[in-house]
Structure 1
Amino acid sequence: MVAITFGADQAIMTRDIKRQRYQFDLAALQRLAAVNYAALTKLVKQIKQGSEKLIKVGSHLHFRVAVVQRAPYTTDIRIQQHALQTKLPGLVETELEVRLYHDAQLAEVTRSQNVQRLAAVYTQPNPAMHQRNEKFQVNQFLQEWLELIREQGLVAEY
């Protein structure tokens, strides 16, 4: 509650300030997962299990995309971002693991920076300091990576 008090002849204004509760948007997460699935299936369709693709983005950055496991209804992928030069200020080398669900045609980040099983919503504050919508943000980050790879990446097989 906020209370503003003025002099004796002026009005006192009081109002409640309520923090809006975060509403998880499942439809938005599924749309994002469908977009990521479409991009990833194009990227990994010819990578064999245990193999990887190296994708260079500019002269300073590359991504390693590896197929960890293929099953009839799922494919597990690991994507790692690395600097080609040792000194890129502010760059954190990042790794994501993604599961493709072929029957639903959705892709979900299952591990990010050694954090597995991201919850859809986190209460605030929480011990791990996750954002309320951490799962959505990590999947959105994957989408941004995939756009960067699609627009600027040069592919080499390894």
Structure 2
Amino acid sequence: MALITPINTSLCLEQLCASNFQKLLQLIPDLAAIKNAAVGVAPRHANLHLTVIDHSPYTLTVELNHCFSQHLDGLLAPALRIRIYMDAQLAEVLSDNDRASVARTFPDASQSREIMHYKWRLNYFLQKWLDHCLGKNYRFTS
């Protein structure tokens, strides 16, 4: 996970989520129109799979992962579950295949500093992964 911890984690986390929203739209221009699933391809790289988990008027919850096999039952990683706030233009990681959701990890809401740092690390990873995917020129089709 991220080695960088900002001084003002709350402000930086909001900016990071806004940046991740923009990067997701660059990577998947028709994101709001995808109903069930889409696949991103790039020459000589593992396919990216996007699965819509939940769709409401203002939010979209998706799972994004690489498929390291010819079959969908192959290794899917990092399996990031992302909530996308279309109206606020933010994308927030809820969990990934190695780390549980914030609510399961921190059942006591009074641990706000730890919760903020946990969210920061999840979303910082998404930023770096999206940069990698954009650099490899993935293209999505629904």
* Structure 2 alignment gaps of length 5 or more: 1-5, 107-111
Q: What TM-score does the superposition give when structure 1 sets the normalisation length?
A: 0.63
The amino acid across from 1:122 in the alignment is E
In 2, the alpha carbon distance for the partners of 1:92 and 1:69 equals 19
TM-superposed deviation, 1:72: 1.1
The equivalent residue for 1:9 is: none
Divergent runs of 4+, >4 A? none
Alpha-carbon distance in 1 for matches of 2:18, 2:140 = 26
For residue 145 of structure 1, what is the aligned residue in structure 2?
129
Letter in 1 for 2:64: I
Q: State how far apart, in whole Å, the 1-side matches of 2:86 and 2:114 are.
A: 28
From 62, 68, 81, the equivalent of 1:97 is 81
The unaligned stretches of length 5 or more in structure 1 are 1-21, 86-90, 124-131
Conserved 8 A contact 1:100-1:106:
yes
Amino acid paired to 1:99: R
Identity across matched positions, percent: 24
**Larger radius of gyration between Structure 1 and Structure 2:** 1
RMSD over aligned CA atoms reads 3.0
Select 1:28's aligned residue among 12, 25, 33.
Answer: 12
Q: Which amino acid aligns with 1:121?
A: R
- After superposition, the C-alpha distances for 1:4-40 in whole angstroms (9 at most, x for unaligned) are xxxxxxxxxxxxxxxxxx9661000000000001111
Determine helix, strand or coil for the equivalent of 1:133: helix
Task: Within 5 Å, give how 1:31-110 maps onto structure 2.
Answer: 31-42=15-26, 43=28, 45-46=30-31, 47-56=33-42, 59-84=44-69, 93-110=77-94
TM-score (norm 2): 0.70
CA contact (8 A) 2:9 2:117 kept: no
Partner Cα separation in structure 1 for residue 7 and residue 78 of structure 2? 28
Q: Distance in 2 between matches of 1:97 and 1:106?
A: 14
Aligned residue pair count: 123
- Tell me if structure 1 keeps the 8 A contact 2:95–2:122: no
Over residues 101-130 of structure 1, what are the superposed CA-to-partner deviations in whole Å (9 max), with x where a residue is unaligned? 12221110012126113655339xxxxxxx
Higher-helix-fraction structure: 2
Between 1 and 2, higher relative CO (CA 8 Å, sep ≥ 6) is seen in 2
